[in-house]
Homo-oligomer: A and B are copies of this chain.
Amino acid sequence: MNAGLAQVCGALIARDALIALRRRADVLTTFFFFVIVVSLFPLGVGPEPERLREIAPGVVWVAALLASMLALGRLFAADFADGTLEQMALAPQPLSVLVLTKVAAHWLTTGLPLVVISPVLGLQFGLAGDALLVLVWSLLIGTPVLSLIGSVGAALTLGVRGGGALTALLVLPLYIPGLIFGAGAVGAVQAGLGVAGHLSMLGAILLLALATTPWATAAAVRIALE
């Protein structure tokens, strides 16, 4: 009757997926938020195709950054408010693993959709085929980094009023390296330079985040529950 770690993590993902399904609106909104923010820029900046193409990588990446940051509000806050997080901390499994699982589930419902839609948005800004490809790759490697780093901020601001904005303040600076290499990769391919360097740096960052953030997040959660 006692379940192993794998089973528990499975249940956790299943549960979060089910909630996301019930709250389809949620998932969709992160998604539409991304789309809208990207679409706002031509309105603010003006329609010159040349200029748009130049700013495209930056705009898409910044929008992805903001979208996944907005979604952080749903990562722990609700579980914290209704006591589920307490139960997670009491689970006879290592909290860092459970946290990592939650982040994974979160990425599946918030990060992945952005990656999927990004080519369409890239087209809006007149990106060429190879640039589009690089954009997708950079986001595919980059968005998990955003979720992982974000989880630390989200956990740190649990139960702290103004969480949303405070989280933003905490995590946005830490997002910047990801942004630089992600947008940089696309910019490089537009400029006809190689992108391997940028993408591998992104990959390195991802590994670093995977190795470190779960512990930090778990620690932050425990602190919040004390």
Contacts and interface: CB of A to CB of B under 8 A. Distances in A.
A70 B165 contact: yes
Interface string A169-181: 1001100100110
A160 interface: yes
Q: Specify the main secondary structure of chain A where it touches its partner.
A: helix
Given A26-B166, A44-B57, A162-B26, A172 B62 contact: no
A32 B55 CA distance: 23
Nearest to A54: B51
A5 interface: no
A4 interface: no
A38 to B, nearest CB: 10
Contact of A62 (B41, B46, B173, B187): B41
14 contacts: A25-B166, A32-B169, A40-B172, A41-B58, A43-B58, A43-B179, A44-B55, A44-B179, A46-B54, A46-B187, A66-B66, A70-B165, A73-B73, A78-B161
